[in-house]
């Protein structure tokens, strides 16, 4: 039920991090995977890596903040008679700064990529899947949609917004067989979090904060993505899968002596 043989998957943000790991995971499950990223060379590297392991993949240079480009990409899929059965979008940026210090330009930058970019993919994929009998769309939210720390307010706002967009579209397109869900990763070692890893005290504090006592690798996000993309989750829609090592299950940072 987790197999994706004969299906086409589309991953935005496939050049690195969770997007790359998920593209590889979907390909390993049998999907022909379209690796899209604003970094065209990185997208091709991801696709080439999949092909070298015997999978089927191609690359696409794509800026998700460009609505016309996203719509055009899905139009090309239509012309090629592709039926996209699974879509994942991961691109995001985070400017760590207290809310009172944010400029309009910085708010626009974070909102534009995280929220508006996600909307563009959600809309294009939703139209495509509704026309072709269904599919699964997955947005990459975050634990920050539920728990916030200083310097994360604007990023957290976008990640919470993605959840509500996913729920809204899940309700609207459920009758068309389109499922829409979010994954909410915890602390994952990716290029986005590299600055934290370079600060041992900060990195260690985050490790101790979750139930498993460690960071996740990007590859550990691939399994949940394949689950939501495949028939294994055929009755799952409009929900959030927290992949956070128990971060949101723990009440505070103190472990009482019990």
Q: List active site positions.
A: 155
Which residues does residue 48 pair with via DSSP β-bridges, in sequence order? none
HSE, CB side, 13 Å, CA atoms: give it for residue 110.
21
What stretch of H or E contains 27? helix 17-28
Q: Which of 55, 64, 3, 54 is nearest to 33 (CA)?
A: 55
- Please identify which residue in the block is written with the tokens 């055929």: 234
Q: Order across the sheet with 178-185: list the strands.
A: 57-61, 32-37, 8-12, 84-89, 135-140, 178-185, 240-243
Rounded CA gap, 184 and 32, in Å? 25
Q: Is 242 in contact with 248 (CB distance < 8 Å)?
A: yes
């Amino acid at each position: 039920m987790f197999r994706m043989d004969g299906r086409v998957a589309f991953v935005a943000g496939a050049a690195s991090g969770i997007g790359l790991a998920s593209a590889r995971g979907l390909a390993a499950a049998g999907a022909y995977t379209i690796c899209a990223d604003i970094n065209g060379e990185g997208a091709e590297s991801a696709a080439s890596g999949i092909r070298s392991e015997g999978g089927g993949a191609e690359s696409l240079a794509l800026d998700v903040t460009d609505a016309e480009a996203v719509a055009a990409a899905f139009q090309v899929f239509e012309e090629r008679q592709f039926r996209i059965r699974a879509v994942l979008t991961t691109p995001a940026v985070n400017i760590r700064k207290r809310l009172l210090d944010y400029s309009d330009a910085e708010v626009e930058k974070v909102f534009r990529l995280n929220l508006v970019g996600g909307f563009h993919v959600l809309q294009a994929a939703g139209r495509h899947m509704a026309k072709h009998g269904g599919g699964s769309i997955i947005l990459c939210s975050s634990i920050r949609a539920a728990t916030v720390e200083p310097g994360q307010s604007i990023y957290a706002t976008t990640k919470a917004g993605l959840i509500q967009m996913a729920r809204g579209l899940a309700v609207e397109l459920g009758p068309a067989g389109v499922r829409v869900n979010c994954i909410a990763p915890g602390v994952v070692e990716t290029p986005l979090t590299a600055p934290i890893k370079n600060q041992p005290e900060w990195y260690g504090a985050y490790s101790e904060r979750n139930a498993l006592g460690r960071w996740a690798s990007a590859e550990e996000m691939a399994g949940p993505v394949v689950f939501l993309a495949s028939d294994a989750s055929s009755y799952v829609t409009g929900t959030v899968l927290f992949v956070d090592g128990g971060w949101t299950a723990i009440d505070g940072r103190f472990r009482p002596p019990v």
